[in-house]
Amino acid sequence: MNKAEIRQAQLAKLVRADNSWEKEAQELCLYEQLFALSCWKKAQTIGLTLSQKGEIDTKPLILQARLQHKRICLPRTLPQRQLQFFELQKTSKLEKSSFGIWQPALTERKVAKNALDLLIIPGLAFTAQGQRIGYGGGYYDRFLAGFTGDTVALAERQRFFTTAAWQTATTDQIVQQVLTI
């Protein structure tokens, strides 16, 4: 199967598994693994997305980061398939992107790429070697090119592949650590 076919199959599978106790139990295990990592412990500024239906819930990550006095930054899509991260504060204004994803308004405080210590990478499928299938725009691959911070992905069973069942491209960026159950 090509990436587009895997993307469609994964979306359907992940939406079916959403709101099940099994998915929530797996997420709890993934949160524990993440919070035990040295890259989480040392990170002061963390980039992640606000989760949507079918994704790993990121609200517990935001809460834990706030309890530990870490800065959380959210991405906003820009022209030419670029990402810019903005700091999430209690008073931040958010708006829906053309993809239906909550993102910071352009008036919020920008965060430089090199100021991010850790990125939690979203995706539909991940391998143990850090290969991933995202949502098809290439935004994260472009952003990760030249990114020097740590990268981690959370992959419950439905999102994890032992080896890539897809053809990788030279522009695909590797996630440093993929946590799974």
Return binding residues for substrate.
50, 55
Residue labelled with tokens 């959380």: 72
Gap between the Cα atoms of 12 and 132, Å rounded: 17
Look up residue 133 and give its two tokens: 């299938």
Q: Which residue pairs, CB below 8 angstroms and at least 24 apart, start in 29-37? A: 29/181, 30/56, 30/154, 30/155, 30/156, 30/179, 30/180, 30/181, 31/60, 31/61, 31/64, 31/154, 33/179, 34/61, 34/120, 34/152, 34/154, 34/179, 35/64, 37/152, 37/177
**Which residues are annotated as part of the binding site for ATP?**
3-7, 132-140
Sequence ranges of the binding site: 3-7, 50, 55, 132-140
